[in-house]
A = this chain, B = another copy of it.
Amino acid sequence: MENGIIFVGKKPPMAYVLAVLTYLNSGNDSVVIKARGVTISTAVDVSQIVTRRFSKDIKVSKVEIGTEELEDKEHKKRNVSFISIEMHK
């Protein structure tokens, strides 16, 4: 985690749900969940599990989508879609 951003990868959604809840219960009012490529759907799941199952006080405040340029191991550039979901209580 850097600067209130939780990067969603290939762990089960609950791992990120826990990270969100822990961060928001440690004196922080907002957090951003970010994911690239196929993990984008996991990020949406995480936001829904947090707001619907765990806390009615936490809301999604902003959703952004876009493209990032990544460099692979052979220094080739490729474009990857991302989502960033801002949540706050």
Contacts and interface: CB of A to CB of B under 8 A. Distances in A.
A40 B48 contact: no
Nearest to A62: B63
A20 to B, nearest CB: 15
A48 B81 contact: yes
20 contacts: A37-B41, A38-B38, A38-B41, A40-B41, A41-B41, A44-B81, A44-B82, A44-B83, A47-B65, A48-B65, A48-B66, A48-B67, A48-B79, A52-B67, A52-B79, A60-B65, A63-B63, A63-B64, A63-B65, A65-B85
Interface of A: 37-41, 44-45, 47-48, 52, 60, 63-67, 79, 81-83, 85
